[in-house]
Amino acid sequence: MDKLLIIDGTNLLFQMFYGMPSRIINKDGKAIQGTLGFIGAAIKIIKMAAPTHLVILFDGEHPNARTELLAEYKANRPDYSLVAEEDNPFSQIDDVYRALTFMNIRHTEVQQVETDDVIASYAYTYGEQMPIVISSFDSDFFQLINDNVKILRYRGKNTIICDTTYVKEKLNITPHQYADFKSLTGDNADNIKGADKVGPKTAALLLHEFGDLESILTNAESITKPTIQKSILNNTIRLRNNYKLIKLDANATLPFHKKDLKYDYSGITTNEVLSGIGLR
């Protein structure tokens, strides 16, 4: 059976660059720990998922509709153009790209929209045709989970596969309620502020009672706890904007079609890849 593996490349690059025990220099004095970690992890993820189709997507540098909606969106993140090379994951991105090309893995920097929306569009476009595994620690992808779409959180031997049961046990909601849930609670990672006094437990209880965010807002005067009712009523515009920020777009243009993504892992090792691109 066909299976599509989508790797959130920027997410994995950050995880590996900052997760390696030390700065690793090759014989030419070039730092390679980010590339080494990325390729090693990608190979392990490929072995775990055993895909027939594979794509790795990276964030491009461009404005997007979400920053137009909320100027503070992701404004809490560092400007990596100002970060010293030895502390900058993007300092090794060109070597990562060369390694992926050497491995015949389709990859690209996403333009015009956010990478999350392209990944979501892959899930909606092909999710009924074949199982899809999305490798990322970005919890926004929980909203895409269904019987055919799962999230892989790579941690070596402690890797977790997140499915519907995982989301229910962790957050006490269903995956399709995730965008509603985060709209209520906010998302510190993306600098999105939720409703005052509405934490994860309260958000889950509201969703159990009303079903979704819009129903909560429409029936806010029925909320029995006065402080929560007041918070929801006072933040109606913000919460609707939050939903627009958090809900992933299913209509982004796909950079590659299914037929372009066929992949058969050859058994190549990390050292063979690094040697092949001249880093060993």
The full DSSP string for 246-277 is HSPPS-PPPSS-GGGGB-------HHHHHHHT
Q: Which range among 64-78, 175-189, 253-267 shows the weakest confidence by mean pLDDT?
A: 64-78
Q: Which range among 112-116, 147-151, 238-242 shows the weakest confidence by mean pLDDT?
A: 112-116
Q: For all residues of the chain together, what is the average pLDDT?
A: 95
Predicted TM-score (pTM) of the model is 0.95
Compare 70 and 96 and report the one with higher pLDDT. 96
Per-residue pLDDT averaged across 127-138, rounded?
Answer: 97
pLDDT value at residue 77: 86
CB 134 within 8 A of CB 12: no
pLDDT for 62 beyond 80 = no
Per-residue pLDDT averaged across 104-131, rounded?
Answer: 96
Give me the count of residues in the chain. 280
pLDDT for 83 beyond 80 = yes
Retrieve residue 118's tokens.
């392209």
HSE of 30, CA atoms in CB hemisphere, 13 A: 14
> How many CB atoms sit inside 10 A of residue 50's CB?
10
CA angle 85, 77, 88 (to 5 degrees): 10
pLDDT for 61 beyond 80 = no
pLDDT value at residue 247: 97
Q: Which range among 34-43, 73-82, 109-118, 156-165 shows the weakest confidence by mean pLDDT?
A: 73-82
pLDDT value at residue 2: 97
pLDDT value at residue 67: 83
First-to-final CA distance of the chain:
37
Of the pLDDT bands very low, low, confident and very high (cuts 50, 70, 90), residue 162 is: very high
Alpha carbon dihedral 161, 118, 74, 140, in 10-degree steps, equals -30
pLDDT value at residue 143: 98
DSSP state, residue 108: E
